[in-house]
Structure 1
Amino acid sequence: MRLWSLHPRYLDARGLVALWREALLAQAVLNGRTRGYRHHPQLQRFRQCADPLQSIAAYLWPVHAEAVRRGYRFDAGKIRNSQTSPTLPVSAGQLSHEWQHLIGKLQLRAAAWLERLTCHPALEPHPLFTVVPGDIAPWEITRSSK
């Protein structure tokens, strides 16, 4: 499961579809509707919110909006709550780590998409997040943490 802190506009078609599916799975986990993935580290930041279901819904809406912008037909009826939620912090280090991770994925599967992205040097976070100073998040699994 990868719930990107980066804005969904950076994801290629395959990445955006995967994000939609994984965020819907996260919503089901947070709602207690599945047995798997209950302890997934990516869910920690949502569980720490006053209303985790509201936060994951607020995460899903911009993913849906990006899909609509591209002409995809993601079903908004699958999102359980409204669009508003307090923003969550994401460290600049986490955002940079995810950008490097995404570059690696895109080099393998969507080089033309990556070429388009390199024209935009300022990283924008997913609208749910506000960038704060800091390193990679403690819940992130990296080569050095394995």
Structure 2
Amino acid sequence: MRIWSLHPRYLDRQGLTACWRETLLAQAVLEGATRGYTRHPQLERFRDLPDPLGAIGDYLAGVADEATARGYRFDGGKVHRRSETPVLLEVTSGQLALEWEHLRRKLATRSPELALRWAGVELPAPHPLFTVTAGAVASWERATLPAAESASPQS
């Protein structure tokens, strides 16, 4: 399961679709509707919120907005709830940098033309749900990159 902190605009078709499906799974987990993935570390940042289901709904809405902008039809009816007041979560620059490198590796293999399009971007914009703060990779992150490329910026 990967709930990207970076803006969905950077995802290729496969990545955007996978993000939608995996976040719908996260929604089901947070609702208690599934027995799998209940301890998935990516859900920690949502579980710690006063309204985890509203926040995951807001996240899904951001993914659906990107899909709509591309002409895809993601079923917004699958978003069970949105938060009453807008939610903004923090993501560290180190976490965003790690996810960016992870995505760039995927794009280089799967969608080289998109990898070239984003080649000049040092640090991507975050998903609309997030605001960037200085810091290292998040404690819940389990992805690793080869040692030469895993150094995360602290600012």
Short-chain TM bin: over 0.9
TM-score by length of 2: 0.89
Q: Which residue of 1 aligns with 2:101?
A: 100
Secondary structure, aligned partner of 2:86: coil
Contact 2:90–2:130, Cα closer than 8 Å, also in 1: yes
Structure 2: distance between partners of 1:100 and 1:120: 11
Aligned residues, how many? 144
Contact 1:9–1:66, Cα closer than 8 Å, also in 2: yes
Change (3 A) 1:70 1:130: same
Structure 1: gaps spanning 5 or more residues? none
Structure 1: distance between partners of 2:135 and 2:54: 25
Contact 2:91–2:132, Cα closer than 8 Å, also in 1: yes
Identity of aligned residues (%): 54
Q: Show the 5 A alignment for 1:10-89.
A: 10-82=10-82, 84-89=85-90
Contact 1:92–1:131, Cα closer than 8 Å, also in 2: yes
Contact 2:7–2:126, Cα closer than 8 Å, also in 1: yes
Q: 1:67-114: CA deviations, max 9, x gaps?
A: 001011100000011365320110000000000000111111110111
Contact 1:42–1:140, Cα closer than 8 Å, also in 2: yes
TM-score by length of 1: 0.94
Q: Which residue of 2 aligns with 1:3?
A: 3
